[in-house]
Structure formats: structure tokens, C-alpha cells
Amino acid sequence: MWRGKKVAVIFPTYNEKDSIRAATLEYFESRLADEVIVVNNNAAPGTSEEIRGTGAREIFESRQGYGHALLRGIDECDADLIVLSEPDGTFSGNDLIKLLAYSDDIPVVFGTRTAREFIWDGANMGWFLRWGNWAVAKMTELLFNTTILTDMGCTHRLFQREAMLLIRPHLTIGGSHFGPQLLMEVVAHKIPFVEIPVNYRRRVGHSSVTGDFGKAFLLGLQMIALVLQYRFGLCRRNRTVWQGELSIQQQLAALGRSAHQPAPDLSPEPVSAKRES
Ligand SMILES: Nc1nc2c(ncn2[C@@H]2O[C@H](COP(=O)(O)OP(=O)(O)OP(=O)(O)O)[C@@H](O)[C@H]2O)c(=O)[nH]1
Ligand SMILES: [Mg+2]
């Protein structure tokens, strides 16, 4: 629970039998997650047994793929704040509080795995993946004039429910480049977002996507093609753009202040001043 809002974490799982138990418990230990939804995507035998007793809710998605699994979890989730993560040990339950803190101000919070200080020894974020993700993210930032973006494919993300409901009808990709599509739909719907560094640790077990250079390279090309399709109108559809709570700039304007003006001093008067009056 976060400020009276229900928080759910969604884990798609395929090949994380050896890490899913610890990952689930780590998120519950934060005492911020009301629910962990595990989406079993034809997962390795024994996965269900590992989840049992942790308090997580297991659901099943038979259509194979990262996108299909996450979409099933999203559709089955009734939380106010929806957090996406992976149960492979790479993401940390301790980062939940950071995503939640930003959700007070902004409807979507993206994690980035490319901040050097947050990349742990042994994490699968070598030169190619780090700068490849960064380059496509910068291309997106430039082409769409967004706020800072440094990672296209980080699963660790938070969505206020209203933001997710707005983009959900437009999410169509069942495979690995679902993540970039999610990001592009947030941009296309003009939903305010921010990107924050999240810890990125060594994966338990073998990475089936970005662990292979050829697959990672292909995914990079798919990401670039996707961004260009959005930029040049090939993904043009009727979209209801974000009309939710005002952005921070608009809130300040409504208060009659600019972002450059200091906030009024609301601190209590010093005790000595009170005595004098
Ligand atoms: N590879 C793969 N992953 C799946 C599938 N369905 C769900 N997933 C989940 O998608 C997530 C990403 O898969 P990983 O093998 O961790 O891929 P990765 O190399 O870490 O990819 P990145 O997280 O993008 O760096 C994991 O949580 C998987 O459990 C599937 O069919 N294939
Ligand atoms: Mg992973």
C-alpha cells in the first residue's frame, strides 16, 4: 500500500525457477507491495512449486512471449499502482519505494538500467547493451522532444492505473519488443513520465534474450524500426491523449508561480519572533 493506493507487482516468468521465490519474497519484504502477480508463461517445471507459500498469485498465459505474459498480468490486475518487474534476480524490491515516491507526482515512472553506479558486478549490461539502449532512447528523446530517456527496454516500470487503462488498447506486441512499445504509447498519449535509475544485478540463470549478441542486435533493430514507425505516422491511430492530473508545470502555473520562482516560505515563524509580538 502506498498512500492509500493498492500496489501490485507483475512478474512474467519463463525460465526463473531458481530465483522466483527469493524475488517474490524480496518485493513483499518491502512492505509496499499488496500483491505479487506471477504470470506463468509455460514456465520451467517446478516454478509453481517455488511460488507456493510466498503469498504471490499465480496466473497462466499460454501464448509464448514477454509481451503476452505482461499483458495478461496487466489485464488481471486491479491495483491503483501497477509495477512491472522480472523475477530473475536482476531487479531489486528495494527500488519499489523509489518508483512509488515519484508516482506521487507523475503517472508513469520508467526505470533505467544504464546509470553506471547502479549496474552491479556481473550484470548483463556490457558496452553494447548499455550504449545501444542509450542510443535508441536518445533517438526517441530527440525525435519526440521528451524528458530524459536513457533506456528503452527496462522492465522495471510503474504505471498509475489511469495511465495504463489509456494505453492498454494500443498494446499489441506479444514478443520481446513489447517494452519499447509500452514506452512509445506513453509518449504517443502524451502521458507525463520520468525516468529514474534502478539497480541492475547479475541474472540468476541464463538470459534468453539479451544474453545472445545476435538476438540483442536484432532486438535493437526492431526497437529502432518501432521508434521510426511512431515518428513517421505508421502507428497513427485515434488516441485520447492524457487529460489526467495536471503536470507539475501546470500545477505551478495554476498556483500563479513559475518553476523558477521559489516556493513561498511556509515554515513556522521562529520562536524568538513570536515572543517579540
Ligand atoms: N525469453 C522469454 N522470456 C519470457 C517469455 N515469457 C515471459 N518471459 C519473461 O520475460 C522476462 C525477460 O526475459 P529474460 O530471459 O530475463 O531476458 P533478458 O535477457 O533479461 O532481457 P532484458 O530483461 O530485456 O535484458 C523474464 O522475466 C521472462 O520470464 C518468453 O517466452 N521468452
Ligand atoms: Mg531479465
Q: Give the domain ranges of the chain.
A: 7-249
Report residues near ion ligand 2: CB below 5 Å. 86, 88, 90
| Strands of 193-197's sheet in order across | 57-60, 35-40, 7-13, 81-84, 157-160, 108-112, 193-197
In the reported structure, the alpha carbon of residue 206 is separated from the centroid of ligand 1 by a whole-number distance in angstroms of 10
The pTM of this model reads 0.89
Pocket of ligand 1, beta carbon within 6 A: 12-14, 16, 41, 64-66, 69, 86-88, 153, 155, 203, 207-211
Distance 129 CA to ligand 1 centre (A): 15
Per-residue pLDDT of the chain (277 residues; tens, 9 = 90+): 999 999 999 999 999 999 999 999 999 999 999 999 999 999 999 999 999 999 999 999 999 999 999 999 999 999 999 999 999 999 999 999 999 999 999 999 999 999 999 999 999 999 999 999 999 999 999 999 999 999 999 999 999 999 999 999 999 999 999 999 999 999 999 999 999 999 999 999 988 777 788 888 999 999 999 999 999 987 777 888 898 766 666 666 666 655 556 555 555 555 444 444 3
The answer as to CATH 3.90.550.10 being correct for domain 7-249 is yes
| Nearest partner of 177 among 216, 132, 222, 232, judged by Cα | 222
Considering every ligand atom, which ligand is closest to the CA of 86?
1
